[in-house]
Structure 1
Amino acid sequence: MPQRQRPQKPIGTITRGTTNPNRLRRVDRWLAGPQAARVRRAVDPLVVDLGYGAAPVTAVELFERLSGVRDDVEVIGIEIDPARVAAAEPLARPGLSFRQGGFELPLDGRRPAVVRAFNVLRQYGEDEYAAHWDQVRGRLAPGGIFVDGTCDEIGRRSTWATLDADGPVSLSIALRFGAFAIPSDVAERLPKALIHRNVDGERVHAYLRALDKAWVDAAAVASFGRAQRWRAMCGAVKADGWPLLDGPARWRLGEVTVAWDAVAPG
């Protein structure tokens, strides 16, 4: 009689699990905006909220926001803590479910179009995150992305690295106007791959300094509002040769995305 195969042990460790409603609105509006085409054209419109925390609110919000992009989208919240999965079950509905797992992504062979992991990898060592990046990237659908991000407790300051099957693609910064003095105030929320690289001689440090300088230089347009000042800052940085991957439609939201090669660890 053949032996039953044991389920794979979840890969990873339990996070603190703290979360708040609307905490991930900035990355969600990016996924439902410039990245929406990935979900629309996916053969299997599967999206994973990896490590959603002690409460499943971020997975529920992600499902509701992406349902406006594609009505047959499916969001699966994955948590390593079985107690958190059990607590989330009452909120399951068609298109939204929860299961135990980690970076191995227990999806029964399915490949997701998007995997979002926020405030998860920041707890790992600098020598650990890359292996987890590779585990997730290897399970993406063709054209899929892995979004590894960090934000503050109520989502005013947020950054995320976007990866595809070949590796890191970009770094995004999204800030609430009025929640910072200079753009580099977001430095403590950089992804694990960059947070310890914000020092002289590293590309991400140079990028943040360039944003700060352009922000200060744009003070003359501050009377027209912070959004106009942010747009002026982004335009100046782009004119100086930084490879920004977005434009004014995103800048007016307090968001800016740069190619990864411009900020990658040296």
Structure 2
Amino acid sequence: MPIYLRAAIKLDTDPERTQALDFHADGAQRKVSLSGPSGTASVSVDTGNLSGLGSPEQQARALAGQLKQFDHAASRGRADAGLMTMFKDAFSGLNANVGSTAPRAGANVGGKWELAAADHAALSGLADFSAQVSQASTSINPMRPSEQDSFAYEMSQSISIGGRSQGERSIAQQQKSELNASFHTPGTPGGQLKLDYTQQSQNYNFHQIKDAASSDVNLAYSDGRLVTATLNQSASQPARVMSYVMGNLVSDTVTPVRQAFQRDLLSALAPDAQACSDACRPF
């Protein structure tokens, strides 16, 4: 039976504002949406296809890893701490007890074919999901209102299982994330940021960040044997910093950072493999 919950909480602010929450759960998904003065967040977990779900231990490790990734994005983009706490709580809550009543040991739960232990070892162990968080933008420099402090982060995972038979199956898992953020910092380390209409206040740095990352695992079987197992990861982390002294632009620096990683997992994923090293897991 579907479950719906909608709540609105009046916050002790002046003027009075409201924090809203919507929750929905049925046999296909769990979803939470949050909105309030600090921004919006939504998390959706696919509970209709749990074929790639790992053991409770693997799920716990993967969940901890995702939360660390959220923390890294929040630190890099200077996100609102309260908004990120709500976002992380929603993500943890929706991933709790997923598949707790489902049979284990590679059982086919909503997927096309059963997965072997080696398949699960290469996958994250979490159910498919999408998660987004967006901070309310603010303009803290009255002399340059176009410089918005903002934070938007999203991440998703999807698994597809195909093939014409159990012995000719293929498995693909994709994880991807994007971070877009901008913020002000003092012009000198340890200094104070107090921007107003005076020239003396206009000593600061304005940062712009646009990150993107992806991780793809592909497995393929022929005649019941694993013949292809690859991991491809890429990340782009360009950062722009504009530095102002007395309101004058003195430098505009763009630092492009790109990384790519490929690995053949075939030797690591023997048919009787029960686990994979950290280097083999999607990030």
Same fold (TM over 0.5): no
Quickly name the TM-score band, shorter chain normalised.
under 0.3
- Rg (Cα) greater in structure: 2
Structure with higher strand content: 2
